[in-house]
Structure 1
Amino acid sequence: MMEIRKLLKTSAFRAPWPTRIGGDVVASLMQEPSICKKCKTHSCVTERPMLLGSVCSDGLTYFGTSVSGIHLVIYGLTSLSNREVLGKKFGTQRKHELKGRAISQSDVNNWIESIKQLDKILQEERDLDLGEKLEALHETPKLAEEIKIAAEYLIQGKPGVTLEEKFNASSRIEKTIFKASQILVDTFDLLTVFLNPDSAGLGELISVMPYKLIHKLTFILSTQSDERTKKIVNFVGSCRSEYKVFDSFKIIPMALLNNALKYSLGNQNVEVHFEEQGQSTKISIVSIGPYLDDDEIKMIYQRGYRGASAKKINSAGMGIGLYVAQAAAQANGTTIKASSTLLKTKLNGHDLARNTFTFYAHDAPSRGRSG
């Protein structure tokens, strides 16, 4: 959808009616009526219109939908149903300006469907181009795995009983090599699922202890070069269960932990809650960060979507982490669910909230993705 917005901004490709994409007015064959230009409230944008159509306080019709996580609004129109009302409300000059702006629901549906098809084609072309560029790196994941094994061998030779103790006993250079090798391998795994979501449900099932896996991810992801910025991750509850899952399972906690550490604000710690429930374990990752409204919670798993607060805090993100994590979750027979509880405080202009991302660990379905 980002590419479509850029195309429309060039004026080489025009929308048939006045249109806003992500709040920006784009080039259109039909110009904005003067009513819209003078409008102070812009309710067509702020009130999240429906695809079935809404009517603003000035009596004009607008339609809205979401394409690849970006809001699209068609506005400044009249509908067949409210044309008679407008005829009584406006004078001759205003009625003349609005002439030819009556559209049907099918007109809107057909154009939006064409936009979605174009978005799909552009996305497929982008993936193909990316895949071709990455083909030259096809040996790199193997090399990254070898580096990871060598780094783990270095750490295992240090004094201590647990991996964390051995890690803490290592030199700063050894810690950096170990952390970088782990993240490098995990990044290649994430990229594989990004390019082909179905791959999250392929391969043999492996035995994983979620508590042990997440504990390892925690001290890898939370280790910073500047100790003053290091985030503390607290574990609440425990889990000794072991489950048969796909290798993609590790992407779920990795992406959620990475997001929690990246977007938690102030000196707030991140919490990981474990609750064993029969044949499964409920796992929740909790952090204090920017508030997520209901619309944003619906869109955060869409490919390429990034919320306004996320962009301000970290402009370098690509909006793929939660998309890939949800694909991995579904392949392993679960679904990530998010909630955001607004707190009565602000920080750096952000409304703070207690953000919770929850999924369940259990034996994965043998054939991968479930509903």
Structure 2
Amino acid sequence: MLLKEVIDTGVIVVPWSCCIQGTVLAGDSGISKTCEKKCKSERPCLVTEANGEALCPYGLSYFSSTVGSAPVVVFGVKGSLVGSKISKELKHELKGRNLDEARFKEWVQRLNHLDSVIDKHILERQSELLDPLHDPIRLARQLEAISISLLESSGSARTLDAQLDQASAEMKSLVKAAGLLNDYFDLVSIYFNPAAARFGRPVSTSLHGILRKITSILSGFDAGEEGARIKVNFRGECYRNFNLRESFKIIPFSLISNAVKYCLSGEVTVRLREMQDRAEVSIVSQGPPIEAEETDLIFKKKYRGQWSRSLRKGEGVGLYLAKIVADAHNININVTSQRLGGQKFGETPLATNTFKFEIPYQINK
């Protein structure tokens, strides 16, 4: 959220002390003495899920809302809930800090408008930045096609998986690297232009084939700075076709590559299960816990879970891109994280993390 940085420059006047997406800004009036001395840095108003005005334990009003997807809290002010029966000291402290619901909503509305203008400009700029990548993207696809052609001509096996099993180490590396490069370019395209997730009409596609390819490419690649190689197992079968856009593969690619990156114990397992009217895909791994309040936040741009931040370097965009493409396909990604007792990886607790989504079967008319 760039709006937070814009406000922090001082170009935009903030009338009250507030917190925008975790960053506290003193505002023109400064932070009240009660907030500064009694609450210090542990302010309960900043972790509340309330919307609108509420009263803090020390008798001051705070107002909560959202700008875009970011939480915004104005605190240490005098609203309608404060009342008249307060100490002289508090009355003196709140002088000039009056705020009502209507004024707060108007301020939030203006911030939302500014945030949307900034986002629109960024998207336009990102689309321009994507233009020079058209030729490299085309060459990456050509490289992948050539590598597969060389693989097919070098063996006698019937299926691509069998050919890859029989190939030399150099040929396996070439095919996997070419496929990985192509998939990363697709990620870049969606990142610079999120609208591209909806490009093209849905076509009949083999979900089983997509998952086999991605698990084959990502299996055995380095998980992180330690150089550990993580195996990715693919289990289950489903040979029905599904109406999917070309961008769909970014969902399993992002989820599986994220699981590989943060896998701390064992292997990553990708399961495909046929159900009565749909297919279910789940990606299961053991890694850092995902706290309950983070299961939605990890899909926000640039956000990373508290345990993940201390474990690996990252930009927080993989799951964000998966969510963009999932929304374009009306797919919901469900996340669960179950801690493994007292098991740890160094200082990091271990948990079984599961990312799951479902796709309805194609209806033939």
Q: Partner residue of 1:181?
A: 178
Q: Partner residue of 1:24?
A: 23
C-alpha distance in structure 2 between counterparts of 1:27 and 1:78, whole Å? 16
Is 1:48 the counterpart of 2:51? The answer is no
Counterpart selection for 1:276 from 249, 267, 274: 274
Bigger mean CA offset, 19-28 vs 220-229: 220-229
Q: How does 1:226-265 map to 2 (within 5 A)?
A: 229-264=228-263
* Structure 2 contact 152–160 (Cα < 8 Å) conserved: yes
Rate the CA distance shift 1:107–1:205 in 2: closer, same or farther, 3 A: same
CA offset at residue 244 of structure 1? 3.1
Counterpart selection for 2:313 from 306, 312, 315: 315
Rate the CA distance shift 1:162–1:201 in 2: closer, same or farther, 3 A: same
Instruction: Give the partner amino acid of 1:23.
Output: G
Q: Secondary structure at the match of 2:139?
A: helix
C-alpha distance in structure 1 between counterparts of 2:244 and 2:200, whole Å? 10
Q: Partner residue of 1:138?
A: 134
Rate the CA distance shift 1:198–1:113 in 2: closer, same or farther, 3 A: same
Rate the CA distance shift 1:365–1:19 in 2: closer, same or farther, 3 A: farther
CA offset at residue 217 of structure 1? 0.6
Counterpart selection for 1:201 from 198, 202, 207: 198
Q: Partner residue of 1:217?
A: 214
Give the unaligned 5+ runs of structure 1.
367-371
Instruction: Give the partner amino acid of 2:22.
Output: G
C-alpha distance in structure 2 between counterparts of 1:66 and 1:292, whole Å? 23
Is 1:164 the counterpart of 2:145? The answer is no
C-alpha distance in structure 2 between counterparts of 1:56 and 1:139, whole Å? 57
Rate the CA distance shift 1:94–1:228 in 2: closer, same or farther, 3 A: closer
C-alpha distance in structure 2 between counterparts of 1:305 and 1:73, whole Å? 19
Q: Partner residue of 1:299?
A: 297
CA offset at residue 295 of structure 1? 2.8
C-alpha distance in structure 1 between counterparts of 2:229 and 2:314, whole Å? 20
Q: Secondary structure at the match of 1:138?
A: helix
Q: Partner residue of 1:369?
A: none
Give the unaligned 5+ runs of structure 2.
none
Is 1:59 the counterpart of 2:83? The answer is no
* Structure 2 contact 267–285 (Cα < 8 Å) conserved: yes
CA offset at residue 220 of structure 1? 0.8
C-alpha distance in structure 2 between counterparts of 1:48 and 1:60, whole Å? 14
Give the CA RMSD over aligned residues: 2.7
C-alpha distance in structure 2 between counterparts of 1:223 and 1:232, whole Å? 5
C-alpha distance in structure 1 between counterparts of 2:305 and 2:14, whole Å? 25
Q: Secondary structure at the match of 2:190?
A: helix
Q: Partner residue of 1:117?
A: 113
TM-score, normalisation: structure 2: 0.87
Which digits, 9 at most, give the CA deviation of each residue in 1:61-80, with x for residues without a partner? 22334445543322111211
Rate the CA distance shift 1:335–1:111 in 2: closer, same or farther, 3 A: same
* Structure 2 contact 222–230 (Cα < 8 Å) conserved: no
Q: Partner residue of 2:74?
A: 74
Q: Secondary structure at the match of 1:5?
A: helix
* Structure 1 contact 11–27 (Cα < 8 Å) conserved: no
CA offset at residue 134 of structure 1? 2.0
* Structure 2 contact 127–193 (Cα < 8 Å) conserved: no
Higher relative contact order (CA 8 A, sep 6+): 1
* Structure 2 contact 79–99 (Cα < 8 Å) conserved: yes
CA offset at residue 96 of structure 1? 0.9
CA offset at residue 263 of structure 1? 1.9
CA offset at residue 37 of structure 1? 1.0
Q: Secondary structure at the match of 1:140?
A: helix
Which digits, 9 at most, give the CA deviation of each residue in 1:329-370, with x for residues without a partner? 23334222222233323434444332221111334699xxxx
CA offset at residue 198 of structure 1? 4.2
How many pairs does the alignment contain?
358
Q: Secondary structure at the match of 1:139?
A: helix
Rate the CA distance shift 1:133–1:35 in 2: closer, same or farther, 3 A: same
Rate the CA distance shift 1:349–1:103 in 2: closer, same or farther, 3 A: farther
* Structure 1 contact 68–303 (Cα < 8 Å) conserved: no
Which digits, 9 at most, give the CA deviation of each residue in 1:4-31, with x for residues without a partner? 2222333333322101233332241121
Runs of 4+ aligned residues of structure 1 deviating over 6 Å after TM superposition are none
CA offset at residue 146 of structure 1? 0.8
CA offset at residue 111 of structure 1? 1.6
C-alpha distance in structure 2 between counterparts of 1:72 and 1:312, whole Å? 26
